[in-house]
Amino acid sequence: MSDLTQHLLARIEAHGPMTVADFMSEALLHPTLGYYTTRDPLGAEGDFTTAPEISQMFGELVGLALAQAWLDQGAPASFTLAELGPGRGTLMADILRATRAVPGFHAAAHIHLVEASPTLREKQRDAIKAEITHHDTVDTLPQQPLFLVANEFFDALPIRQFQRGPTGWHERLIAMRDGKLSFAFGPELPQPQLEHRLADTTQDMIVETCAPAFSVASEIGARIRDFGGAALLIDYGDWRSKGDTLQALKDHEYANPLDTPGEADITAHVDFEALAQAAPCAHSTLTPQGVFLETLGITPRAQALASRLNGDALQSHIAAHRRLTHPEEMGNLFKVLALYPENGTPPPGCTP
């Protein structure tokens, strides 16, 4: 039994069952035992691999899309170039490399990263050869034009889960049974924030909410509304939450979220409708990642890079292109939502 499991069981014994959100917060961000605060979770030796780690093409195209959005808005002389949950810094490093030739872009950009993990902050400083300002939360980002990317950030924010009953909703909780962590349900209560979900759910269905995601999207959207800019929110999920999507990844395999908290990545699918509703600015239609990347020209870029490769390197490159874009891989599972100013145009790759 892990130290964090013992800590969680002691907390439940003392205070009663905890929400799924509290469980996720402890499992991922406990100061000394949390998953993100104690390790580098990425890559072959970690538990999962993100799109920027799969191929440089992903970051290049995201960077050029943001640079074009900056140009379309008159190339503001000073702006925040931000990333939420930047991992090892690979995506931002690729963005900066791809945009070097955009006149004035680097001179105007001030790089700000929102990162909770001390371990990953160090890796980001090593990867990004530029001045960086780190933040714990989005609300401390500068009050100026904001051009932002969040790739696989919202999926790790703590969710609450509710199961529909005959007249109300039962919150799904984490309890203790036979000395182990176990799922349980609270009493049936009204949940005013879920009134709109009565039309598309039936009894016993689970709906997930994520208050932190709502707050982050609201903060980003307010910056864009007040100062201009654009945001690319890229994650797995769909337009509306439906069903139990809580999951854990350990050693690149799915695991029971309750088995090894603190030692596995715990995430949930993103409700993009909630993000769009929270942001007080315009939003694009929800675009599959594969369509987004193909629209930006990933296949010609892949062909150009392939011309310099052969053997195993070429096969790995082909596999990376497929993994990012194919509908049966990340192409349909991952979606892109863009935020941008009212009466403006969305970044390239997205449609109003």
Angle between helices 289-296 and 311-325 (to 10 degrees): 120
Instruction: Report the distance separating Cα 70 and Cα 166, nearest Å.
Output: 51
Instruction: Report the distance separating Cα 29 and Cα 38, nearest Å.
Output: 9
Helix (H) / strand (E) containing 163: strand 160-164
How many structural domains comprise the chain?
Answer: 1
Q: Evaluate whether residue 19 is within a structural domain.
A: no
Check whether 21 has a pLDDT greater than 90. yes
What is the CATH number for 278?
Answer: 3.40.50.150
Check whether 42 has a pLDDT greater than 90. no
| Location of structure tokens 């694009």 | 284
Quick: pLDDT tens for 67-92: 999 999 999 999 999 999 999 999 99
Q: Evaluate whether residue 228 is within a structural domain.
A: yes
115's tokens: 């990162």
Percent of the chain with pLDDT over 90: 87
Q: How confident is the model at residue 188 (pLDDT cuts 50, 70, 90)?
A: very high
Q: Evaluate whether residue 171 is within a structural domain.
A: no
The whole-number pLDDT of residue 36 equals 82
The whole-number pLDDT of residue 252 equals 78
Give me the mean pLDDT over the 94-105 stretch: 97
Instruction: Report the distance separating Cα 301 and Cα 294, nearest Å.
Output: 10
The whole-number pLDDT of residue 144 equals 98
Give me the mean pLDDT over the 240-262 stretch: 91
Quick: pLDDT tens for 54-73: 999 999 999 999 999 999 99
Q: What is the domain extent for residue 104?
A: 35-157+212-241+266-340
Half-sphere exposure in the Cβ direction for 313 (13 Å, CA): 6
| Location of structure tokens 């989005």 | 138
Q: Evaluate whether residue 123 is within a structural domain.
A: yes
Q: Evaluate whether residue 24 is within a structural domain.
A: no
Quick: pLDDT tens for 258-307: 998 999 999 999 999 999 999 999 999 999 999 999 999 999 999 999 99
Cα–Cα distance list, 33 to 3, 26, 69, 264 (Å): 7, 8, 40, 12
CB–CB of 231/339 below 8 Å?
Answer: yes
The whole-number pLDDT of residue 82 equals 98
pTM of the model: 0.94
Q: Evaluate whether residue 177 is within a structural domain.
A: no
